[in-house]
Amino acid sequence: MTPRLLVAGSAAIIGLLGAGHLLLTLRGPKLLPRDRSLVEEMARVSPVITGRTTIWKMWMGFNVSHSMGALLFGLTYGYLALVRADVLFQSPFLQVVGLAMLGGFVILARAYWFVTPLAGSAVSLTLYVLGLVMARAG
């Protein structure tokens, strides 16, 4: 397994998690509260910071933007690993940013999410680190 494929696999996992999250946010009940009356309340109530939006709109926006971030990571690091590996593996900055992002996903998943994103993030982080280690060793 080459470093490029390990990092590309890492990126693909996060990209797929982001795509799945976006789909679940925009379609179906999986990310809705079990108590449906809470959705109505969230759609009615504004946050303290402004009366120009609702908690529901913020919920949707946060979920969509979270998905976009995971998709951006997946696409960017997948592209770098497969097309511009020279840039990725010669840039300590890009390597550390990727490591911080994936480490942050693992920490967030453990603290706030559930088993699927935790497992996916942990596998992605492992593949990423293995790719970096192999690139340095090779």
Percent of the chain whose pLDDT exceeds 90: 96
pLDDT computed for residue 1 by the predictor: 74
Is 97 in a helix, a strand, or coil?
helix
CA distance 82 to 66: 24
Averaged confidence pLDDT in the chain: 96
Mean pLDDT of the 34-58 span: 96
**pTM to 2 decimal places:** 0.93
pLDDT computed for residue 28 by the predictor: 85
- Contacts by 67-70, CB closer than 8 A, 24 or more apart: 67/18, 67/19, 67/21, 67/22, 67/25, 68/18, 68/22, 69/18, 70/14, 70/15, 70/17, 70/18, 70/19, 70/21, 70/105
Task: Count up the domains in the chain and report the number.
Answer: 1
pLDDT computed for residue 138 by the predictor: 79
Mean pLDDT of the 7-14 span: 98
Confidence check: pLDDT of 48 > 80: yes
CA distance 13 to 39: 30
104: containing domain:
3-137
Q: pLDDT digits over 124-136, tens only? A: 999 999 999 999 9
